[in-house]
Amino acid sequence: MVYALCFVLFVIGLYCALTKKNIVKIVIGLTIMEYAVNLFLVLLGYRKDGVAPIVEEGAGPLEFLARSVDPLPQALVVTSIVIGLGVTTLAIALCVRLYEKYGTFDISEIRRLKG
Amino acid sequence: MNTLLIPLLVAIPLGGAFFIPLVSRKVRVLADIIGNLATLSVLVIAVLLFQVRTVYSIGGWNASVGITWVLDGFSNLMLVIICLISFVATLFSSQYMERYTAKYKFYSLFLLMVAGMNGVVMTGDMFNLFVFLEIASVASYALVAFGGNHEELEAAFKYLVLASIGSTLVLFGIAFIYGATGYLNMASISQAIRTGPRTPILTLAVVFFTVGFGIKAALVPFHPWLPDAHPSAPAPISAMLSGVLIKALGIYALTRVLFNVIGITPIYGAVLITIGALSMVVGVFLAVGQWDFKRLLAYHSISQMGYVVLGIGLGGYILASGGKQSAAMLAILGGIFHLANHSVFKSLLFLVSGSIEYSTGTRQLKEMGGLLEKMPLTRATCTIASLSIAGVPPFNGFWSKLIIIMAAFQGGYPWLAALTILVSFVTLLSFIKVLRYAFLGHLPESLKAVRESPALMSIALVVLAIFCTCMGLLLIPGAREMILDPAVGALANGVGYAQAVLALR
Amino acid sequence: MGIELYLFILLVFLIVGALIAVETKNLLSSVISLGAIGFGLSIAFLFLRAPDLAIVQIAVEVVLLIFLIRATIGRDVIPTKGHIHWAGLLIVCLLTVGFFAFGYYAFRSLNEFGTPIISAVGNAPSNKYLADGLKETGSANIVTSILLDYRAFDTLGEATVLFAAVLGALAVLRGRAWSKREKDK
Amino acid sequence: MNGMTVIVKTVTRWLKVFIFLYGIYIIITGHLAPGGGFAGGVIIACSYMLLTLAYGKEFTLKRLSLRAGHHLDSSGALLFLVVALFGLGSGGIFFANVLQNRYPGAKFTLLSSGTILISNIAISLKVAASLFLIFIILSVLRIVLVEDGSQKMIQEEEEE
């Protein structure tokens, strides 16, 4: 059920990126898609009544192993958040430059190249 | 000794890319020198490592715990292709890129792209594949927009949006795979999938991978970015994008995941055949009507990628449905050989278009004409490349198309063979048009002062033209066993990949 | 219920935020709803026992918001007009619905929420990280030990992506793209 | 951009130190507590952004020029690569945590995890410099009115 809600978020982002006419909206759609994937990865690693994957001084290793949430998806998501930031930054730079050239964010007016 | 060289394939381009902005703001020529040296040394290393089959564990962590690099036949072939084309492209760009400002940024991004592709081709880990996919993609978005004009920015934005959707889908697919198996290492995933049940989540992951990598490879339902992005980039970058980027990020990754990680089934094979045939036909018919030289070439890239996917998909289909083994191997051989050939002649064609644009300042075929006398060398190389792509014997394109057609006949699909021949014929027509309008006819008044392109650019053209002429020789028995068959074997091995990797370790 | 219930409410909040961000006419409010989604996500990470991610997400969200607001402020003067053709919209809607239905069907073959795959697969790498991470890398924070030791190569790649993106953005935003010789032509 | 009111400036003067210190804390304890090089780098970049927003870009650029930002950006990435190659040079293994393998530190202390600390610092340098650069470039773009009334943005020429 939680997975499905996360997937709804992803589909909303995809819908936004595919149908919107405003280039900033498209970038927002891309960002929402990324958020959904990140959340999905972390959801995959959650353990009921788990603890954060940080070893406390004096904690028993076996108990930690049995109770900690999955650390690998968290490490992956740190990487993927940064990658997302990079791509979004580049996209914003392109948007700013496109606005400078065309004077609009409307993609139906940014159409010099023929299909 | 050899194991020490493997990390350098990624470390040298990365180091070069980080180092160029530090030093070359003051001394401009350093960017040229570092860029060319980096690609040359990577090429040398790739050739030295060509016969090496090994698994390299990064950080010394074994197998599934850390990240591994796997060098097998297919990876080695791709590495050599990537490094060769990138070396020629840097050679070309040291003079060509004088047209633009901020050359050091160009070289830095270029090397990042090379590092990303090398990483994708070598890696044996799903998430690492995604990370390096993104390095190469991000660098290529910026390079498409390098000219900074209206068209370049628009094309780059379109490319960025579609390709980012593709990357996100790939990441989602990786998340599914991780949720179903608990591993990220390709060999471990493959083993877990083979022993466990095939759940619907795997099918969903395959759909996501097909769409995601399909966008990167510009196969037909997902192609709209390519005819804008490839012509808009500077010529050496067009050569890189069409020549190797769509292959390394799209076709290599897709086939690696489908064949070696998840395991090919008749349905996946049929999907690949359909997409391939569709790309082949749609690409070539869209190309015929184009008058912009680079745009025409870009549409032909879609069509030629169709050949590659058709060949590999046909092989996978026959393998999975238990057909004739020899026909399957032949089909995959045709696909991979055409991939190698296409990267050579399509890069050459884009470099030729760059060379013409450098001298005449136009890309429109209708504004050219009579360049035969003025640019003899460009004309000769262009003819060779055109004949190659159209599949005229003795050039390399002929042999790979012939193999695909033979495989289609042997496998019992004569209509696919007929389709291939038809598309090949239309390609020939379209390139006769190019040769006719660009080089024959009478010279317009405005182009009287045109001169042949500078020395380094010409050298780059000639190197690739020699490869175009000679690559047919790869099919003679000794060379074929050494170079092409290991690559075919790596793919045809299917989920046997896991054992192969475990045995190498 | 506990955390699951909170998470459920938070996800509904995220979805509503996303819908607002997608459908609102004003660009600035759209950007700000995106910020709300980001901060909500950061809280969700806290619930899911991922404090590292919560910090990274909140920091990144601040930066992203600053960039987006600077990019859009004062520039949405001309409202975008022109709608997608209704047939196209219908196809997109049908595709997304079908896509969602298939996804929902497929998700049921995943492990149930709250029991990660590592509890079923004994020799999954994550179990090794949890068991030996402190001993082998000396880092008490297992996520850091994965990021910078076990899978440090990914982190190098991640830093490189950021480097490429920044260099690319600088290249895109540079004042003059063509050299003087070319301008004279 | 000339900065904001006196209140904002005063608050910023006090706040910037704490944000900066918090960033550094997050970086160097990345292997013991939540956080790490990336989050710390972003926070440090945020402190510079706050300064720029409050005092205007001339104020910040006097303290950290664009060129220095570029150099920090590249050298941070280069430092991380050097850490990786150090493993290759001294043990033949790319990315080996050589320091931890040879001289393991006491657990739960600052110097407990070999190259992880160095990598964290390298990443934070890189990230902080990159984001600062992007921010400056995006804020250097400014809107001016052209004669015919249409808006146009002009970027100050970067030094060639």
Residue D140's pLDDT is what? 63
pLDDT, tens digit (0-9, with 9 covering 90-100), for B66-100? 888 999 889 999 999 999 999 999 999 988 888 88
Residue C74's pLDDT is what? 67
Q: CA–CA separation, B390 vs B287, rounded Å?
A: 13
Contact check, Cβ <8 Å, A57/D34: no
* List of chain C residues whose C-beta atoms are within 8 Å of the C-beta of residue B138: 161, 164-165, 168
Is the pLDDT at B59 greater than 60? The verdict is: yes
- What separation in angstroms does the CA of B197 have from each of A108, B184, B497? 48, 18, 19
B15 in contact with chain D, both atoms CB, cutoff 8 A: yes
Rounded to a whole number, what is the distance in Å from the CA of D123 to chain A's nearest CA? 12
Could you tell me which residues come within 8 angstroms of residue D140 by beta carbon, excluding any fewer than 6 positions away?
A: D57, D155, D156
Of C110, C160, C171, the CB nearest to B142: C171
Of C14, C56, C173, the CB nearest to A81: C56
pLDDT, tens digit (0-9, with 9 covering 90-100), for B311-323? 999 999 999 888 8
Residue C77's pLDDT is what? 57
Residue D2's pLDDT is what? 60
pTM for the model: 0.93
Contact check, Cβ <8 Å, C138/D105: yes
Residue B277's pLDDT is what? 93
DSSP assignment of B9-45 equals HHHHHHHHHHHHHHHTTTSTHHHHHHHHHHHHHHHHH
Tokens matching residue B204 = 């969903």
Residue of B nearest to A82 (CA): B131
Contact B117, A54 (CB under 8 A): no
* List of chain B residues whose C-beta atoms are within 8 Å of the C-beta of residue C125: 64-65, 182-185
Residue D13's pLDDT is what? 85
Residue A113's pLDDT is what? 65
Of C7, C56, C157, the CB nearest to A2: C7
Is the pLDDT at D159 greater than 70? The verdict is: no
Q: What are the start-end ranges of the H helices in B182-199?
A: 186-195
Is the pLDDT at D158 greater than 70? The verdict is: no
- What residue ranges of chain A have pLDDT lower than 50? 115
Contact check, Cβ <8 Å, C173/A12: no
Contact check, Cβ <8 Å, B101/C107: no
Is the pLDDT at D141 greater than 80? The verdict is: no
Q: CA–CA separation, B266 vs B322, rounded Å?
A: 9
- CA nearest neighbour of B127 among A69, A37, A14, C56: A37
Percent of chain B topping pLDDT 70 = 100
Residue D145's pLDDT is what? 38
ipTM of the prediction: 0.92
CATH topology of domain A2-102: Helix Hairpins (1.10.287)
Contact B240, B248 (CB under 8 A): no
Residue B477's pLDDT is what? 85
Q: Which of B18, B24, B122, B138 to mutate to test the interface with D (most CBs of D within 10 A)?
A: B18
Q: Where is mean pLDDT largest: A51-60, B426-435, D148-157?
A: B426-435
pLDDT, tens digit (0-9, with 9 covering 90-100), for A36-52? 999 999 998 888 888 88
Residue D143's pLDDT is what? 45
Q: Which of A87, A99, A106, A111 to mutate to test the interface with B (most CBs of B within 10 A)?
A: A87
Contact check, Cβ <8 Å, D133/C152: no
> What are the 10-residue block averages of pLDDT along chain C, 185 residues in total?
82 92 86 92 91 90 88 66 68 81 81 78 84 82 87 90 91 76 54
Furthest-apart CA pair in chain B: how many Å?
72
Q: CA–CA separation, A66 vs C47, rounded Å?
A: 19
pLDDT, tens digit (0-9, with 9 covering 90-100), for B376-397? 888 889 889 999 998 888 888 8
Contact C152, D119 (CB under 8 A): yes
Q: CA–CA separation, B237 vs B219, rounded Å?
A: 20
Tokens matching residue B300 = 């032909």
Q: Domain segments of chain B: what residues?
A: 2-504
Q: Domain segments of chain A: what residues?
A: 2-102
Tokens matching residue B133 = 């996919």
Is the pLDDT at B1 greater than 80? The verdict is: no
Q: CA–CA separation, B269 vs B345, rounded Å?
A: 27
Of D33, D127, D141, the CB nearest to A96: D141
Q: Which of C115, C121, C163 to mutate to test the interface with B (most CBs of B within 10 A)?
A: C163
The owner of tokens 């979805």 is C15
What average pLDDT does chain B have? Answer: 89
pLDDT, tens digit (0-9, with 9 covering 90-100), for D86-118? 888 777 777 777 777 777 777 777 777 778 888
Of B18, B60, B101, the CB nearest to D78: B18
Contact check, Cβ <8 Å, B15/D160: no
